[in-house]
Structures are given as structure tokens and as C-alpha cells.
Structure 1
Amino acid sequence: MWWRGFEAAGRRCFSRAHRSWGKTAPAVDGGEEIDLTEKTTAKTFSALQAERHEQAERTILISCPSNISEKKFYKYLSSYGTINKYFFYEGFIDEQLYTVCKEYQITEENTRLRFLVCSLVKDIAAAYFPECSIRPFGSSVNNFGKMGCDLDMFLDLDSISGRNNTKTGGVFSMEYETKRVASERVATQSTLSVIGECIDQFAPGCTGIQKILNARCPLVRFSHQPSGLQCDLTANNRIAMRSTELLYIYSNIDPRVRALVFGVRCWARSQGITSNIPGSWITNFSLTMMVLFLLQKRNPPIIPTLDQLRDLAEAEDKYVIESHDCTFVSNNKIKPSQNTETLEELLQEFFEFYGNFAFNQMSINIRKGKEQHKPEASPLYIQNPFEQALNVSKNVNQTQLEKFVTSARESAWILQQEGIKRPMSNTKPWGLAALLLPTMQSSGGKSKKKRQPASERIKSLLDSLKANKETTGYLNRSNGGRRHICTVAW
């Protein structure tokens, strides 16, 4: 007999199981090896049913207060007698949020596929830069990516610059130099232009190559048909790499971080707050920053601020990029939070917090973990954690911000309704599913007396027609408008 721990609905759960030993195969995910010769004897249906009924007769369900840790609660109950088996069971909304995270996260197979595409692009780039590397960054590797997201790649030329290499053996050495150019940006544009041409001409399966060299961050965009991935290749983008590592660390501090981010993103997509089309919508990255900011402000905090991570850093963690302090400690030195709030409580708090946030005056800053006065008049100001003079949500206009605030207030109100957090009937949506239904935001533009520009009026009209169509379709469904959470598309 052995004890095996596993995660169930976000709380630690333990189960006892039998195991027989035989030949093993290497694990594909770095975990335990798989027993290929293990044999189990299936119980008869009646025997299994009898065992389950017998277990139920010896089982009790006890509510654990949210402010009491699992360890203390178990110790208290053990003082009244021996507990043979136990597990902690979360609320229904917590289950839904963890299910969303599990269903939409990037799989191990898809992650390996993304690294394979990077390796293939490296083979092309090596024609001009023999010792270069192509590294994935962003949602593909920060633990917040969902299936189908773009593959962001970074062309790393530092390994061949000759400055950072330690010469090992041999009488001769080789160094690579580039022609003098007006600026580093011009050099980046020239490099990407050459690599883009090589991908267009010689990379099998790569189509639709676009050289977007005049963007703030120059890039080459293309589709890799065999993998079905949309790819963006950049160079000289080390701060983005550092941001990726920071999000990865935050995701591993507490399991509630990823679950809440995935749930909020899913909600935002269903409400039309985010979109795959570039424009004035709030981005997934901005939503992630907003969730992290909320978790920093809980009492006690669930995750530390960036300044706190910097203060914990040691000499080997120091990292400065173009005068920007990108220093923070690695996650294995961060102590877990003592906060015991459930995901249901945190989701409710997210809607209430941002439904009443003073966006007209204050900005969001995860480096400090507190609101600060906005340095400019952008409707939504979320400070870049490393390039602190930049606003990562500068694209968001007032209309989209008001849409977000209205949706947050309505969702907070829905969660407060009696019976919405538990399944009360087979036809009425409950929990997170109730929040994913399209809402009517009829009061959004009535308070404005100033005439909007023509483009804004047309856009508002199209949004209104779309909302009416979606709501009408929902009300006319024969099954009472029931929607399953697993069918919601991002």
C-alpha cells in the first residue's frame, strides 16, 4: 500500500491505492515512470456498488472555515479519533475555474511542438548566424497560454557576439561582426529582414510571411502549416523574455493564480471585452496584470510585489537590460502565502474591486503592489513592470474600459444572487456558467451627451446589434438557454 497525493478542485487530496511492480517505460512528462505490465482485476458491478455504499456509511462531510488551514483543521479533528482517509473538497465555482484552467492550458505535446518549430527556424537562421538560438517566450512558456495561442520567438544573437563567450581550447577562434549602422533598431530591422527572406524561400511549411519592421518591436510573422501555429519572430527583445520568466514564477507560487487568470480571461472573452483582432480591446496580458495586482492586495497577499521579489534576490539574480532593473529572485526561494481565500471569493473580489476602481485617476502597478496617480490621460493605465515609463494598456479606449467596468459590476451582482453559486435546476446556468452568458449593457452610452465621432458611433452600433443578436438567440433556445461551460469558445 502506498499514499499518492493529487490535486482535486484546488485543494490537496490524498488517496490510497494498490500498486504492482513490473517493467517500466520512461515518463514523457518528467514525472513518474509508467508501469506497462501492471494488471488489475476489475470488480463486478454489484461488488463495486456495495463497496461504495459501505464507504458512504462510514463517511462524514464537514465544512472547513475559509480562515482555517487544512493542516490545523485535520489536526483538530484527529484529536477526537483516528482518521483513516480524508480529502478536502472545494466549492462548485472553484471546481469550474480549475476545470477551465485544465481544459484550455497548453498540453505537454503542444509545448514540445512549439519548441520543435523554434528548432526548425533556428536551422534556417543558422545559415547567417551559425551559433544563434531561437527561444520561445510569452504565452507559450509562461504557464498562462491557452491552446491555439501564437508562438512568439526571440532570435538570440548574444551567444555569437564574442563578448559573452568563454573561449575553450584550440589555437584559432572565430568572431562575428556586423557593419556599422545608425542604431541598434536599424540593425534589428536588417537582421529580421534577412531571416524573413530565408524563411520565405527555404523553410518548408512556412507560408504567409510578413515583415512588420516598422512596429515598435520589429517582427517577422508567418504561419507554420504542419503544426498549425501562427508565429512571430523578434530580435533584441530581452525584456519580453524577462517578463515571461516573471509570469512563470508568479504562476508557480500558488495554484489559484493560474486558475483565476484563466477564469477571468474566459469571462472577458464571452463578454466581448477581449478579441483576437488587434484594436482597442483589453488584451489578455493586461487582464493578467490586473489579476496579479488584485492578488498582491489581498490580506495577507497571495503573491509578492515585484519590488519584494527584487529585494529577495541575490547577486546571481541581478539583471539589468538597457538601464531597466529586471532583477527578481527565483521561485524556489519564495515562501507560500498564508492566505486561505477560495477562488470563489477571489473571483467575486475581482469584479467588485475593478467595478469600483478609480480608473480616471489611478494606475495599476505590480512592481509596487498599490495604486498610483496616472502620469498621462489614458483611460486605462497599467504600468509595464520593467519599462516603467510604458503603459501596456495604451491601446484601450474609454468605450472599451466602460464596457469592462459595466460587465464587472453586473457579474459581481450575479454572484451575489441566491442560488447562483450552486446547481439548483437542470435548466438554469449557475456558477461560472452564469457569468459567461452575453449581457445587455444598455445603459453604457445613455449618460453621454457629447456626440461621438462617426467611427465610434458605427462601432457602438455594431456592438449593440451583436449583443442583441446573441441575447435573442439565448432567449429563444428550446432548452431554456442552458450552456455548458466546456463548450464556450475563447
Structure 2
Amino acid sequence: MSLLFQTIKNTGKSQTLKKLIRSPISSCKCLLARNSSDVSRKFLSFDEVVLQRRDEARRSLVIQVNSESSFSELYGYCSNYATINGIHHYKNAGGEHFMLIEFNTEDSLKEILQSCSSHQKDNDIMALQSPFLWFRASPVKKDKLASSSSRLITKNGNAAIDEDMLFGELTNCATVSDQIQLLYDRTMLNDLGIRLRYMVARQLEIVFESLYANIAVRPFGSSVNGFGRMGCDLDLVLSNNLTDEMSDANKRLVYQDKKSEGGRGPWQRHMELVGELLELRVVGATRVQRILHARVPIVKYAHEFTDVDCDLCYNNMSGVYMSELLWMYGSLDPRVRPLAFLVRRWAAAVGLTNQHPGRWITNFPLTLMVLFFLQQKTSNGFILPSLKNLVNRARKQDMRIAEENVNCTFLRDMNILPQECYSQNQSNLETLLLQFFEYYAQFDFQEKAICINEGRPVRKPNALPLYIVNPLAPSLNVSRNVSYEECERLKSEVRNAAWQLEAGLEGERPDDWGVLGLIEKKASRGLKKLLRVGNSHRLVSVKDLFNDNDENISEGGLRSKLQRLTQTTAKEIKQVLANQNVEGKKDQKIKFKNNQVANEVYRIRRNKMV
């Protein structure tokens, strides 16, 4: 039994946990923080969460079925062999139906696997075992549902988000804070998405455990750090580190080892073998691509049964520890992750981030920018502690050393962190979002670097346009790829976002009030501007072309009304430009500190006129 279940059992809350697990939303949130009444254990550690998820994967199978109506028959069949904790349904991109079924114990799963029909004799294949199965039609009478109270926990659990419906819900929110929280709740990686990613990792462990000793395949990155969204990629690290017991010098019998030979690094060759195994022995793995000459050799592939794109590397434990650090920061305060989600969504909408690598900023540096902002001390206090504070409070059991002697030691149990070290600022999400844009609109990117280790700006060691210190390797810049032009765009966009958000909080609510105007794609935003009449915020409606008493409109009448509307719009635009020129002449008499300030004033006035 995992630490999570053992702790809850000891505190007498096992019945509450069962209710939480039966809810797809609550089952995910129960992993973020313990019950508020458990004062001694308020936060879950990253290791506890990983242990819980890996234990779930060992007790689970993913079974392809004909449709969601197969639930009753599948449940009746499997319940003859083992106790079932729950079943989740989803569809992949090809429209095929799958059910993730979790059993009570790992031994129960083994009994199910022993009852499986091994393979299809007619197919020219080499038999293998895998946690991914399919449920074929019964040649005899169908099994009935064992319990009428049993039902699917999740139905179509990985369905794509309906953007129109999401924007409609955001429009109906009462406050900007509600919008930010709703965006996070609707787009975050849900419980089923996390379970499927751990199932993919478990599948690789089963394939590789006969080849390597003490094998472990661990998810890291956005899939496990709490900042992942629905459909995010899966980063995996393969490790087979020997334990102290396995390398005991007092034991006289020692395994013979196979030494790697050749000009290339040994793990480049092993990753090449991994690529071959993915193509030949891993069901569901497609589009395998080997990138072996990178600083960290990786193998990329797509898993068609789960609709997940995977990147597999070897022994990159610093990535795992970085995920742990982000998880801890996200769990310290409930406002951290929703704010980071909104900032990343905004950056994608304005084109600051891109799906392909290049000269632009990525989501990881943006997340560090959010954490850094929340570390700043204001009149209301701060929200997150510096990493230096966590390092100083680390204990002996918190010591971690990753590859290339990277020191990843920091406090890992947030329950012993004093309350005065976090969540001192009680501002709502709306206030924090506006302050985030205002803070970076005034940040000195030319001279200062962003460093969550210190929790304050530090002097840049070089002239790179944007410098964000790698928390676990402070000598590295995680944004070294960002070009000067992209850095300037970042400065411009945070200023525009600050003005747009502040302007949207005044007066009546337009259609794109609050965060809607921030997360709307530029293409849609430009189309709306083209459709606006003059300087109003009202879109052109078909009703504007006709009078209320017009019943029969001829083709000529429609053409004449369109011409009059066009002439009216042209007159309004000319009047706006004339007023702008007059104000421009007046502004020329004003003396500014420098040209940059003058240009910024003119830009703000010009944007207000559009």
C-alpha cells in the first residue's frame, strides 16, 4: 500500500478517499493537497505522488473495446477474476475506444494476464506481454454486469476541449479571477491523462526489465510537475541505477558486465537499441525517430493507443528533479498554477511561443518568470520562497546529485516549511495577473537576470538579450536561444497586455472582457478589428443593414445600403485620423525625456484610437 493510502487509512479517512477516487476531478485534486484538517501533513511530497501513480499503473490495464457500451460486458468478465477499483473510458485520434481498468492489487492483475489468450496464431508475429490488450467478441453467451451500482468513472476522458464552449463559459464568469481559475480547471491535464502517461512508462519497463537490472522509466516535465495541459507531450527518462544492496562489496558473487566498445558514447548505442525495440516490440509505438548526436540523446515516438507524443532519454535525472521543484512550488499556493496557465496561454495567443524549437521563448522559462514574480516582496508580502531558502533548510535525506555532478539538493517536505515563508500576499488572481504584466513591463532586461534561486534580480553575466538562470545549474541560461527581436517583442507584449487588462476593467464589459482579449488568437483579434465600425467596440451586424420596418429588400436596395454604410465608416475613419493628426501636432510641443518615452506615449494614444 502506498504512503498516501497508508496515511489516510491511519487517520480514519478511508471512506472519504473512496468518494474522492470515484470522482474524476476530485481524484486528481486529492493529489495536490491533503485535507485541510490534516495539519501535520498539509502537503504531499513529489515522491509520494510518483509512488501513488506508479502503483496505480502496476495495477492497471488499457483494453481496446468496441464502444463505451462494452463497459458492462468487460466489467462482468474481469470481475470474475479480480476486484475492480474503477474503469475509465476514452477514444484516441482514430476514433477507437479504450478503457483503462484499475484492479485492487497487483496480484489480481497477474491473474487476469494469466487468463488472457496469448496471441493470434495466424499472424506472423513474435509473442510479447504488454499492459495494452483488446477485448474480442465472446463466442458464447455474454457476461452480465456483476453490480448494478458500478459505472464508468470517466467517459470520453481525453476529449479535445471545445474552445467555443470554453470561451462562452469565460464570458459568463463574474470576475477575472474566476476566469483564470476556470481556464485552469478546464485545460489542466486530468486524472485520466496522468494515468495513461504512467501506463506508457510502465509498458516500457515491462519490455526493458529483461535487458537491464533495476530498470525504471519515469515521466518528468509537464506531465507530472502540475503545469501540464491536456494533450501535452510526455517526457520519459530511462534509468537503471544500482542500489547499495546490489553493489555490496562484501558479496563475493558478482554479475559479469558487458563493456561498451566503439567510438560513440555507450548510451548513444543503447538508445539506438531502444529505438529498435520500440519499433519491433512495443505495441502502439509509431513514428520512431532517433536523435542520437544531441547533448542528451533521445528517441521520439508517438503512442497511437493513448494519443501521446513521447521523448525518451537515458538517466536525465536533473529533469526529474526539476519537475519535483516545480511541483513543490505549485503545491505551496493554489494561485501559482492557474496564473502560470494563463500566462502560457497568453504567450501562445500573441505568438511569443511556438510549437517548434527556435529563437523564441518556451513554456519552461515562462513558468520560471511566473515563479520569480511571485517571489517578489510587495507591500502585501510575497507568495513563494526563494530556492536559496529551500536549499538552506534541506536535510540529509534531501540530498540529490544528478548526472554531471549537478547538485539538486533542496527541502522536499513542504510540511516543515514555516508558514511565514510563503503565501503572505493574499491578493486575488486578477490583481496578481495585472501586477505580473506591470512588473515585467518595467523590468530591466538589459542589465538584470531572472533568478528564482535568489528571489531577486541579479546582474547578467553576459550580453544575451534574455537571461533566466537555470535553478539547478546556475551557470546556465534556460533562455539562451531567445533572439534580440523576440526579447523586444516580449517587452512590447507585456506592456500591451498590462494596458489591455487595465483598460478592460474600466467601464462596461465588451465581448472580449477580462482574459478573453489576452488569450484570443491574433488572427481572430485582427478580424474583429476589421469588422468594427469606426471607433466603437460593436461588431457589424446584419441588422445594421436594414431598418426595422424593411420587409422586402431588393438587390439594388441592399447594394445602396452597403454603399451608405461604407461611406459612413470611411467618414468616421477620416475624422479619427484628423483628430489624431491634430493631437499629434499638439504633442510635438511637449518635451519628453527621450525619444523612447515619446514613442511610447504616441503608441498608447494611437492604440486607444484604434
Residue in 2 that maps onto 1:480: 539
The secondary structure found in structure 1 opposite 2:335 is: helix
Distance 1:481 1:373 in 2: 51
Deviations 1:81-122 (A, max 9, x none): xxxxxxxxx971111111111111110011000000001111
- Answering whether residue 191 of structure 2 is matched by residue 108 of structure 1, we say yes
Residue in 1 that maps onto 2:387: 306
Distance 1:289 1:178 in 2: 42
Q: How do 1:249-288 and structure 2 match up within 5 A? A: 249-288=328-367
Choose which of 229, 239, 247 in structure 1 pairs with 2:308.
229
Choose which of 9, 21, 27 in structure 1 pairs with 2:21.
27
Residue in 1 that maps onto 2:257: 177
The secondary structure found in structure 1 opposite 2:389 is: helix
Mark the CA change 1:178 to 1:362 in structure 2 (over 3 Å): closer, same or farther: farther
The secondary structure found in structure 1 opposite 2:325 is: helix
The secondary structure found in structure 1 opposite 2:478 is: coil
Choose which of 176, 182, 196 in structure 2 pairs with 1:99.
182
State the Cα distance separating 1:153 from its structure 2 match.
0.4
- Look up the equivalent residue of 2:409 and give its one-letter code: T
Choose which of 383, 408, 411 in structure 2 pairs with 1:326.
408
Contact in 2 for aligned 1:428/1:480 (Cα 8 Å) = no
State the Cα distance separating 1:401 from its structure 2 match.
1.2
State the Cα distance separating 1:421 from its structure 2 match.
2.7
State the Cα distance separating 1:316 from its structure 2 match.
1.0
Choose which of 129, 142, 156 in structure 1 pairs with 2:212.
129
Choose which of 433, 453, 457 in structure 2 pairs with 1:347.
433
- Answering whether residue 505 of structure 2 is matched by residue 421 of structure 1, we say yes
Distance 2:373 2:245 in 1: 39
State the Cα distance separating 1:180 from its structure 2 match.
4.9
The secondary structure found in structure 1 opposite 2:257 is: coil
State the Cα distance separating 1:389 from its structure 2 match.
1.4
Distance 2:256 2:369 in 1: 43
Distance 1:470 1:422 in 2: 20
Contact in 1 for aligned 2:376/2:456 (Cα 8 Å) = yes
Distance 2:484 2:394 in 1: 39
- Answering whether residue 309 of structure 2 is matched by residue 315 of structure 1, we say no
Distance 2:226 2:245 in 1: 29
The secondary structure found in structure 2 opposite 1:472 is: helix
Deviations 1:345-396 (A, max 9, x none): 1111111111121111111111111111211221111111111111111111
State the Cα distance separating 1:181 from its structure 2 match.
5.5
Mark the CA change 1:283 to 1:165 in structure 2 (over 3 Å): closer, same or farther: same
Residue in 1 that maps onto 2:162: none
- Look up the equivalent residue of 2:454 and give its one-letter code: K
Give the alignment's TM-score, normalised by structure 1: 0.70
State the Cα distance separating 1:190 from its structure 2 match.
1.7
Distance 1:178 1:349 in 2: 58
State the Cα distance separating 1:470 from its structure 2 match.
5.6
Residue in 1 that maps onto 2:485: 399
The secondary structure found in structure 2 opposite 1:255 is: coil
The secondary structure found in structure 2 opposite 1:209 is: strand
Which ranges of structure 2 fall in alignment gaps of 5 or more residues? Answer: 1-14, 36-84, 87-147, 150-172, 542-610
- Look up the equivalent residue of 1:421 and give its one-letter code: L
Q: How do 1:146-185 and structure 2 match up within 5 A? A: 146-158=229-241, 161=242, 163=244, 165=246, 175=255, 177-180=257-260
State the Cα distance separating 1:327 from its structure 2 match.
1.1
The secondary structure found in structure 2 opposite 1:154 is: strand
State the Cα distance separating 1:163 from its structure 2 match.
4.5
- Look up the equivalent residue of 1:235 and give its one-letter code: Y
Which ranges of structure 1 fall in alignment gaps of 5 or more residues? Answer: 1-20, 38-89, 440-466, 483-490
Distance 2:232 2:21 in 1: 26
State the Cα distance separating 1:337 from its structure 2 match.
2.0
Mark the CA change 1:242 to 1:477 in structure 2 (over 3 Å): closer, same or farther: same
State the Cα distance separating 1:175 from its structure 2 match.
3.5
Contact in 2 for aligned 1:136/1:152 (Cα 8 Å) = yes
RMSD (CA atoms): 3.2
The secondary structure found in structure 2 opposite 1:115 is: helix
Contact in 2 for aligned 1:362/1:372 (Cα 8 Å) = yes
Deviations 1:389-411 (A, max 9, x none): 11111111111111111110011
Q: How do 1:335-414 and structure 2 match up within 5 A? A: 335=419, 336-414=422-500
Mark the CA change 1:354 to 1:91 in structure 2 (over 3 Å): closer, same or farther: farther
Deviations 1:396-433 (A, max 9, x none): 1111111111110011111222xx237934x5311111
- Which sits farther off after the overlay, 370-379 or 146-155? 370-379
Q: How do 1:208-223 and structure 2 match up within 5 A? A: 208-223=287-302
Contact in 2 for aligned 1:422/1:430 (Cα 8 Å) = no
**Structure whose alpha-carbon radius of gyration is higher:** 2
Residue in 2 that maps onto 1:55: none
The secondary structure found in structure 2 opposite 1:302 is: coil
**Percent of residue pairs identical:** 34
Distance 1:249 1:146 in 2: 18
Residue in 2 that maps onto 1:241: 320
Contact in 2 for aligned 1:474/1:481 (Cα 8 Å) = no
Contact in 2 for aligned 1:199/1:206 (Cα 8 Å) = yes
Contact in 2 for aligned 1:320/1:327 (Cα 8 Å) = yes
Mark the CA change 1:131 to 1:324 in structure 2 (over 3 Å): closer, same or farther: closer
Mark the CA change 1:162 to 1:27 in structure 2 (over 3 Å): closer, same or farther: closer
Residue in 2 that maps onto 1:459: none
Residue in 1 that maps onto 2:224: 141
- Look up the equivalent residue of 1:327 and give its one-letter code: T
Mark the CA change 1:475 to 1:225 in structure 2 (over 3 Å): closer, same or farther: same
